[in-house]
Structure 1
């Protein structure tokens, strides 16, 4: 049985790993000519994703590539002195298993784990999917697959082809974010330096193994003007306008916009779909249920979704008419919870009032100053994210190393269930 996965970011390789482990034959197609090395930003892996990574045998590599950020310095707008906090205490209070890692590093690790037995096709993209599984590509000849999975992110091509335009399912949270790579002139090592004002937050951090640093910008804004996700000049213009006058240090970060080797910008948008499966096609991760980039724990949700989907297909012996509804039932509560987490996190990280600015800074200082027990209780009481991620549980994978009745074979082998046309 042949399964095509679109997207080689996070969800795609995790799904490919578990599908091949369950005996399916997998092809992954990726628009980029190679694994994306766009600079990226730090993402969080919470307990369920850590457990899945451990079951994949990659947890030591994940922990080795952790950013090592342990200190937080917050400069509230207009304040004379910054607030300093112990991030390691805040992270440990929020979740008993947690790692912060650069997205590109995590993508590399998952790709390496799923490389054996998986056909990767880079530099190509899907252009059409027929109900009987025929898939057309920009460059390659048409091919027929038993199932197609869109793991191609918030602006998913698979979702657009099968379900319609993104605007039908997107919910704008009222905020944007941007990330750029820049020289680590401040010599940041293990420190996150933040400047917080009403409706805008900027931060810069380094990582133990990075030669440069990352600047992250979060700000509130109306739906219009809403630049296209590939209109880079307009995105940089919006970013400069939103953060003008916040702080001289932030101005220096923004000065790197025209020199940065890597820049990313998008709206913080949730996808809200009644179903993310149709016929032989389903969606996983941000393509189907993005809770909000940068604020909603979407990386953990994508890892969990890929793991659950592969397991349900194995339990159903590859019968998508049984597996897809089961997958959606299992993920429904996780998806609803992640949306609430994202909205709560955005409200906290991008304060809408001076009181909110003060509360963000003083709350971080209070948690890091309290002993471990009271600090943990306070974080779990006041943050939706801690309660949600600590409540997510995952089943053991199906015991059989291969799904019953599933034929295996590498891409292009006779008997693998697919042939080029």
Structure 2
């Protein structure tokens, strides 16, 4: 588990700078400290779309990133822990959550960064409980984000005063589509719409960008922020891909409306927020709140559109859609939940073997015998994967109840693997001998 700040899980984030490292620390710290409760809250909060949106909002406030929340929700959806419609409601709430985070970060809290960094290091390096160290990492991540915003303001100060930058942005003001695309690309490269919105806020405060261009850039940043989750779940299965695609479609619809009606929308927002920085924050908040109010009642239609855009493949590799997720190994309850789901899939494959065995016994078809052999290899592969996954859990961190559940999952998987061996070597072998003797079981007395 987590023993210090030199954990290898943080190395990729270091290359992304203080902001990326801060987001990664917040995400991993919150998941390590409250991962079990988070899963319970999300499962409990998906009874209706309003509560689902609320818990998606709360989760983003904790993780400080709608991208991290989107990937997490998509992972739950791929593993049948959250229904797709409720997951889409949670995504809408998560989008609003990241806008509220922008409101908080827009306040003059830079002075708090050093204190949070000191507190985070002290908690994470201390000898307290595992949860305390995880909370320390989340606090450290928040401090690094505040520090990164302060550094961003200092670094971009010369750019905001440069005539070349003013000329380029002036040209973008006359090409709203290009401006939205540029902002989307920046959000994609940074895997965060939050950083781009904060940059636009600083440019607006310096008078470099006007209201219409600022509104367009905010819309483009929101569009670009929906792309990294879609790319990140390409190996998660069709349900996760559809969910993130639906989120991308929702944000693209909002961005298109903003690009078309930027002038009247900018005038409307300017009447409420006179200060340029507050204008950007309010625009970001209004954009996501409007998407929530508009699309929350029509989630079924959004899901159907995503299903049409991304149809289910006719031949889908079941082995590639494993429910086992290595990122959950630090959260035993969640890891055991996906292991149990994978064991149920093992049961489905074993049941398919029994169905083919009946065909073999009644018809003696050679194709059915070959199908049983293929299914038996899949059963062996699933059993091996479940066994290794459960074994990799840190047994020292498991409670007595979790230990018993892990044993139950392993026993279930082992028994199913024995069933597969019996069907393949026993029933299929008997049927093959009967086929060689041109004989078959009589249907009289065969259960219907």
TM-score, structure 1 as length reference: 0.26
Bigger Cα Rg = 2
TM-score, structure 2 as length reference: 0.25
More strand by share: 1
Select the structure with the greater relative contact order (CA < 8 A; seq sep ≥ 6): 1
More helix by share: 2
